Structure 1
Amino acid sequence: MSALTPVAIIPRKSNYRTDNLIQMSSQLNNQLLIENSQEVQLVIGKKPIEVNIQIKEMESNEILFPENLYSEFYLPVKQIKFHARYSNDIHTLHLGPVIALLTDIKTSGKEVPHFRSIHSFCEELHHGISENGGFFYVFTYRNFTAQGYFFDNGKWHSFVPPLPDVIYNRIHSRRLEYADDFAIFRKKLIELNIPYFNDRYLSKWEVHDRLINENHLQPHIPETKIFSKENLVDFIKRHETVFIKPIHGSQGRNIFKLIKEKDLYSIKSSITSKPEEFSNPFRLEDIYQHIQPLLNNRIYILQQGISLTAYESRGMDFRVLCHKTVNNNWHVTSVVARISAEDEFVSNIARGGEILAPLIALGSLMSKKDAKETLTRMKDLSIETAAALSFQSPGIIGELGIDIGIDQEGNPWLIEVNSKPSKNFDDGLLKIRPSAKAIIQFCTMLAFDTSLCN
């Protein structure tokens, strides 16, 4: 992607409604390499407008914008930092990026929006994009082009939004992504040539199916099969521990854990209301009839249980956040250890788990040197997993949350991959976290050079 120039658009009053004169310094005009053309096509988001450029003695990084142009571009009338790039062959000045986050929104009686578990994250993105350069808003696909929300003076404001340069998908519901009207919305984005990532939720089986043929990843993937009576019997005969997970599950919900105890088997579950009989051990031939009715005709997978290291006798795994860079490579933006609650076998924060710095967690089990080496292996495995999955998956993938466990010999195991990782935890040390900065950089790349994301 060619170099971008940071600028700020500044509103100016105008005496007439069709004022299309923008003003900039000769220094900025030269920096953008605008050659002898007073009239150019100005593009913000997906909207082009013919404007005239007037050279004026002023700050070198500012562009004076008539207020009516703000309205024509569907932007609030205020100073906005942007990146700029001029294409001399088509006489087009592109200011951006305009970044939109897609989610499902709750509103109160006064129409104050709430973005559920990503509400604070949306504010974080707003601040990061405003500081870096760009305009950010949140919308629902059913109100696409009709209503969005931008943040200003500590509040979210409703407005008619511009068509964005790029859309970041954070819909909470798999069901919504399969709806007919969502398919119509996706088709519209293709027609408008608007890049859209992370395309959709990835099922656990889909992830397994795409990674299992990667020879270098195979040693790190637990044996996995679709749940059936025959596969269940086979698994619990061969493995001391077996997990049963919904292929579309999240946040550690509706998972079963089978543990072999001599000739009997105990069942643990993260379902909301556990049957009383789960407190008793079962014979092999009785397990299926007790579990199958609780699956509610949904598709589940069977996963080999690995004997993972624990933290103070509590379950532990590691969430590795990976993001795609401007060079179309993957890198790790954060790692946290997730420690399960006292009475839980899953480590998800949504089920009472807590987070810990990875080297502190690993340091309780091994030497400082071994802990650093193990963390490096986890990062390497995560990057290899992200690269393989994004290469094999349709659509644009820009971030992944990868869950890794460490076995008793210190080997990393790939437990799960999440295409919409939680935003409720991270290292917490910076106002704008590295994961948010990575998303902003990726969106900027998509906005100015979509060829790089193919």
Structure 2
Amino acid sequence: MSYSLTPIRVKLIPKTWTNEATWQIQMSNKLLTHLQLNKNRKLNIKIGQKTITSEIQIAEIAINEIHLPDHMIKALMLPIQCYTFQANVFSKSHTLKLGPVIGLLTDFKTNQMVEPYFRTIHLFCEELHRGICEYGGFFYVFSFDQFSDSGYYLEDGKWVPANLPMPDVIYNRIHSRKLENSTLYKEFRQKLDEHMIPFFNDRFLSKWEAHEKVKIESQLYSYIPETKICSKELFYDFAQKYETIFLKPIHGSQGRNIIKVKEEGHQHYTLQTSLPALTNHLTEKYSLDEIYQQIKPLLHHQIYIIQQGITFIKHQSRTMDFRVLCHKDQNNQWIVTSTVARIAAEKEFVSNLAKGGTITRPLNALRTCMSDKQSIEVLALIKELALETAEVISRHSEGITGELGIDIGVDQEGKPWLIEVNSKPSKNFEDGLGKIRPSAKAIIQFCSKLAHDSALEKEELN
């Protein structure tokens, strides 16, 4: 659904020019004409889910500005300051829709006496704030128990608590799978449905869910290592079938709690793990029975997948894979916003940054293993596989999926393999601290589209 928005600067009318009995919006005659408004008709001004009614006053001000008194800004539940918004007009209800108001949902400790810390996405929240201010809109962060009452917005480098308008769209960055399954969270989701507020990044996908969705369409079969829910029988079966196997918790993240079993010949195997409870002794050889006895307690406490190991190209003898960030754009099309090569730390077999991994440019990493020409071709294949995976996942998922982090390995022949799909990818691995990264811009544009489409749907229902 295409749409056209007008950037508008909202400025404050000095208190000496008006009083609280005056509910007027000032704009130039040119802006009035451009927006196709009727100056003799009451105008509804809507920001987020909040609407007020005003008269229109023609004033000699810049064409891209509207002026409002303080008390009207307060009535819209906004902090008293100047804003840049994207504007749209709904002629039937004579409504000027300003926004988008984007709320980011996450879990954090709330104490109005102490500035909140949003954990691994704290800097990313600041980046989104800057990007939305540039693009046009208002951004704040909230926890679901604050919904419809309050949140935190950034002012002079500090996150300030305030009563704020319910958002046009919500971007889900909750850290906890457990929290997403709680009764309180489900009640919150019900409120969103009642208010028809789009909810972007619906929920965590487990490794098994993602695998099952990718398997639905046959074009990806040949790029997926064989993967099953682990059992004792399958452990022995996979270990005898493949030289290397991996066991991963279906709800794991950041390379934690992964087990690697590799055959070293004559029915002897090495065990490598990122589990703190198990010690890596790469010089020790075990039988399958001995390894199974070590991992058996883990399999009783949580669900693991077991996966065929592929021999991937390495970077200076270190494990290497590629993280591709994919986002939906304002046209609802999947695009690649970032690709990095992830290099494992010394003696680690997972490349995650949380485990000491580092990142480098993908072409530079590929060129250490192959020619320039092949490196360019392989990188194109990596991105193509990522986009196809994102499309399939979103097509077979409930809710709104607009962001995925896709991990891909490359084998000795240059073939890409799908390792893992992350529904809430880390924000810490991209280059560009201090600037608005393409991934953040894509999120802002997609949220703007969702907000616009939702507002249009509500207008048509009225």
Shorter-chain-normalised TM-score: which range?
over 0.9
Asked whether 1:142 is paired with 2:142, we answer: no
> CA offset at residue 369 of structure 1?
1.0
Q: What is the alpha-carbon distance in structure 2 between the residues aligned to residue 48 and residue 9 of structure 1?
A: 16
Which secondary structure does the structure 1 equivalent of 2:193 belong to?
helix
Seen in structure 2, the aligned counterparts of structure 1 residues 286 and 136 have a Cα distance that, compared at 3 Å, is same
Q: Work out which of the residue numbers 204, 215, 220 in structure 2 matches 1:217.
A: 220
| Aligned counterparts, 1:7-406, within 5 A | 7-14=8-15, 15-106=18-109, 110-262=113-265, 263-275=267-279, 280-295=284-299, 297-406=301-410
The aligned counterpart of 2:437 is: 433
Which secondary structure does the structure 2 equivalent of 1:111 belong to?
coil
Worse-matched range after superposition: 427-436 or 251-260: 427-436
Query: Partner amino acid for 2:203?
Result: R
Query: Partner amino acid for 1:7?
Result: I
Q: What is the alpha-carbon distance in structure 1 between the residues aligned to residue 448 and residue 130 of structure 2?
A: 15
User: What are the ranges of 5 or more consecutive residues in structure 1 without an aligned counterpart?
Assistant: none
Which secondary structure does the structure 1 equivalent of 2:10 belong to?
strand
Whether the 8 Å contact between 1:253 and 1:271 is mirrored in structure 2 is yes
Q: What is the alpha-carbon distance in structure 1 between the residues aligned to residue 270 and residue 98 of structure 2?
A: 61
Taking only the aligned residue pairs, the percentage that are identical comes to: 53
Which secondary structure does the structure 2 equivalent of 1:113 belong to?
coil
Provide, for residues 73-106 of structure 1, a one-character-per-residue CA deviation record: whole Å limited to 9, x for no partner. 1101111000001111221110000001001123
Query: Partner amino acid for 2:297?
Result: P
Q: What is the alpha-carbon distance in structure 2 between the residues aligned to residue 236 and residue 296 of structure 1?
A: 19
Whether the 8 Å contact between 1:328 and 1:452 is mirrored in structure 2 is no
Worse-matched range after superposition: 206-215 or 424-433: 424-433
Which secondary structure does the structure 2 equivalent of 1:333 belong to?
strand
Q: What is the alpha-carbon distance in structure 2 between the residues aligned to residue 168 and residue 313 of structure 1?
A: 39
Query: Partner amino acid for 1:76?
Result: P
Q: What is the alpha-carbon distance in structure 1 between the residues aligned to residue 65 and residue 418 of structure 2?
A: 49
Provide, for residues 247-271 of structure 1, a one-character-per-residue CA deviation record: whole Å limited to 9, x for no partner. 0000000000000111111111001
> CA offset at residue 440 of structure 1?
0.5
Provide, for residues 161-192 of structure 1, a one-character-per-residue CA deviation record: whole Å limited to 9, x for no partner. 21000000001111110111000000000001
Provide, for residues 203-240 of structure 1, a one-character-per-residue CA deviation record: whole Å limited to 9, x for no partner. 00000111113111111001000011111111111011
Q: What is the alpha-carbon distance in structure 1 between the residues aligned to residue 146 and residue 153 of structure 2?
A: 14
Coordinate RMSD, CA, aligned: 1.7
Worse-matched range after superposition: 404-413 or 146-155: 146-155
Asked whether 1:421 is paired with 2:447, we answer: no
The aligned counterpart of 2:460 is: none
Which secondary structure does the structure 2 equivalent of 1:343 belong to?
coil
Whether the 8 Å contact between 2:268 and 2:287 is mirrored in structure 1 is yes
Q: What is the alpha-carbon distance in structure 2 between the residues aligned to residue 429 and residue 113 of structure 1?
A: 21
Provide, for residues 359-383 of structure 1, a one-character-per-residue CA deviation record: whole Å limited to 9, x for no partner. 0000111111111111111111111
Q: What is the alpha-carbon distance in structure 1 between the residues aligned to residue 178 and residue 21 of structure 2?
A: 45
Query: Partner amino acid for 2:415?
Result: N
Equivalent pairs counted in the alignment come to: 453
Which secondary structure does the structure 2 equivalent of 1:217 belong to?
helix
Query: What is the TM-score with the length of structure 2 in the denominator?
Result: 0.95
Query: Partner amino acid for 2:226?
Result: E
Whether the 8 Å contact between 1:334 and 1:427 is mirrored in structure 2 is no
Which secondary structure does the structure 1 equivalent of 2:413 belong to?
coil
Worse-matched range after superposition: 423-432 or 177-186: 423-432
Provide, for residues 19-71 of structure 1, a one-character-per-residue CA deviation record: whole Å limited to 9, x for no partner. 32101001111111214543121110011211111111111111101111111
Query: What is the TM-score with the length of structure 1 in the denominator?
Result: 0.97
The aligned counterpart of 1:448 is: 452
Query: Partner amino acid for 2:444?
Result: I
Which secondary structure does the structure 1 equivalent of 2:310 belong to?
coil
Q: What is the alpha-carbon distance in structure 2 between the residues aligned to residue 220 and residue 312 of structure 1?
A: 25
Q: What is the alpha-carbon distance in structure 1 between the residues aligned to residue 23 and residue 112 of structure 2?
A: 40
Q: What is the alpha-carbon distance in structure 1 between the residues aligned to residue 363 and residue 125 of structure 2?
A: 29
Provide, for residues 378-413 of structure 1, a one-character-per-residue CA deviation record: whole Å limited to 9, x for no partner. 111111100110010000011100000000000000
Seen in structure 2, the aligned counterparts of structure 1 residues 276 and 228 have a Cα distance that, compared at 3 Å, is same
Query: Partner amino acid for 2:430?
Result: D
Which secondary structure does the structure 1 equivalent of 2:301 belong to?
coil
Whether the 8 Å contact between 1:43 and 1:49 is mirrored in structure 2 is yes
> CA offset at residue 13 of structure 1?
3.6
The aligned counterpart of 1:5 is: 6
Q: What is the alpha-carbon distance in structure 2 between the residues aligned to residue 82 and residue 67 of structure 1?
A: 17
Which secondary structure does the structure 2 equivalent of 1:315 belong to?
strand
